[in-house]
Amino acid sequence: MNRETYEITGRRYDLDWLRVLAFGILILYHVAMFYVADWGWHIKSDTTSETLQYVMMLVNPWRMPLLFLISGGALWFASKKISSWGLLKLRLIRLLPPLILGMLVIVPPQMYFQILQAEGVELGYLSFYRMYLDMGTDQFPNQQTPVGLMTWNHLWFIPYLLVYTAVFAVLKPLLDRAANALARVRVPLFLLYVIPVGIVIQYGIFLAPRFHQNYALVGDWYAHALYFTLFATGYIMAGQLQIVRLLVTSRWVCLGISLLTYLLLVLLYTGHIFNDQGSGADWISGVLIQYLNGWAWLLTVMAWAATWLNRPSRALSYMNTAILPWYVLHQTITIILAWYLAPLDLNVGLEAMLLVAGTVAGCALGYELIRRNVVTRFLFGLKLKEVDRHTASGPAISAP
């Protein structure tokens, strides 16, 4: 492929690869959350690192936005063959069973170990599980969610995606008009930064201070504004050949902007710039850096993926199908392993490597067991029969 004359074929393999890589980063990110200082998580290591914050800040501004962007893009391809309401029905069939299974079976151990560490109690798992299923329980009030101790934890992405797909089904005519209008104009690179950042920064200024992200779906207005905008943007941009070509030819510029804004973000985080909290101009400048950095990295990863990864492979076909079961399983495996490795007082580097390796091995083994049975395939959102995804058309919509 000539990288300077990128073509959109029947499938955007670069988007498939980005989805796979994003979930790979998610595993590393959640392992790192066990060790990073000052950032709350379900359980924490006795050994934490402030330096790790700066490494995680490289991906934190764009890892979840990328998944919503790709999920919207997947709908653009799928909508060429299926109606918008058919797409919603298909996503409900694929995503509701793993969400329900996750909340009832996969996620509870996360809350169990969280309570053991946070509350310092001795509690058997069966006793805990009875409390967990009682949505009216008053036990452990500091760990309560809107429905008692029950939670979807890391699976929050699934209900958000389902709601956004329902909204998409209503707004599809408007989004199609926007996509068609965009296809008729030539977009310079600076507008590809200015317009999206100019929109999302409004959410950071007016919504973020009032509605902190709660992952509860209800009342999470800042997150909905940001993530649905990215979801819709993914749909509008997915078929825009001119934008993909622009990103490919400008990939080094995009990378430079991303690295520069990351440096500014670190300086902002450490209080070296715009650290006067009483100054509205300083505060807005800091917000601008955060959103410009996040969007810059999104454009950069899309540019380099389009340059190098727009090609099929058997490995991609396998991983594309495995993503959803891996996503459902991974954080519970990480937390269980972390809980039982911690008392061994291993070298922290060795412990972290064992956590990553164990999580990957557990997900791989779990997926191999899941895909061999029709019941477990349904429960984890897989098609009831295996298909050759190597020749499928359009990005998968079964995985988040």
- In DSSP terms, 228 is beta-bridged to none
How big is the CA angle at 265 (ends 72 and 192), to the nearest 5 degrees? Answer: 40
Decide if pLDDT at 389 tops 60. Answer: no
What is the token pair recorded at 210?
């009032």
Average pLDDT along the chain: 92
Total of domains in the chain: 1
Beta strands (DSSP E) in 256-391 are none
Q: Which residue has the tokens 């349904």?
A: 378
pLDDT tens for 72-121 read 999 999 998 999 999 999 999 999 999 999 999 999 999 999 999 999 99
Domain range spanning residue 379?
Answer: 3-107+152-391
The verdict on residue 138 lying in a domain is: no
**pLDDT, tens only, 294-315:** 999 999 999 999 999 999 999 9
Whether residue 125 lies inside any domain: the answer is no
Site of tokens 């109690």: 121
pLDDT of 6? 46
Mean pLDDT computed over 61-76: 96
5 or 374: which leads in pLDDT: 374
Of the given ranges (21-35, 208-222, 321-335, 384-398), which has the lowest mean pLDDT? 384-398
Is the residue at 140 inside a domain? no
Nearest to 303 by CA among 167, 388, 192: 192
Residue 297 and residue 258 in contact, taking contact as beta carbons nearer than 8 Å: yes
Q: What is the pLDDT of residue 274?
A: 82
pLDDT at 10: 59
In a domain, 119, yes or no: no
Question: Which pLDDT score is estimated for 279?
Answer: 65
* Within a domain: 173: yes
pLDDT of residue 11: 73
Element spanning 157, H or E: helix 157-183
Residues facing 49 on adjacent strands: 36
Percent of the chain with pLDDT over 70: 93
- Helix 280-308 and helix 241-249: axis angle, to 10°? 100
Q: Tell me: the pLDDT tens digits for 131-142?
A: 999 999 999 999
Range of lowest pLDDT (176-185, 340-349, 378-387): 378-387
| Residue 113: inside a domain | no
| Burial (CB count within 10 angstroms: exposed 0-12, middle 13-18, buried 19+), residue 209 | exposed
Reply yes or no on whether the pLDDT at 397 is more than 90.
no
| Whole-number pLDDT of residue 106 | 98
Whether the per-residue pLDDT at 3 is higher than 60: the answer is no
Asked whether residue 147 is domain-assigned, the answer is: no
CA nearest neighbour of 69 among 328, 314, 300:
300
Sorting pLDDT into bands at 50, 70 and 90, what band is 396?
Answer: very low
pLDDT tens by residue, 274-291:
865 556 888 999 999 999
User: Residue 277: its pLDDT value, please?
Assistant: 58
> Domain for residue 143, yes or no?
no
Q: Give phi and psi for 79, each to the nearest 5.
A: -70, -10
| Sequence-distant (≥ 6) Cβ neighbours of residue 266 within 8 angstroms | 54, 57
Instruction: Tell me which of 49-63, 197-211, 379-393 is least confident.
Output: 379-393
The number of CA neighbours under 13 Å toward the Cβ of 259 is 6
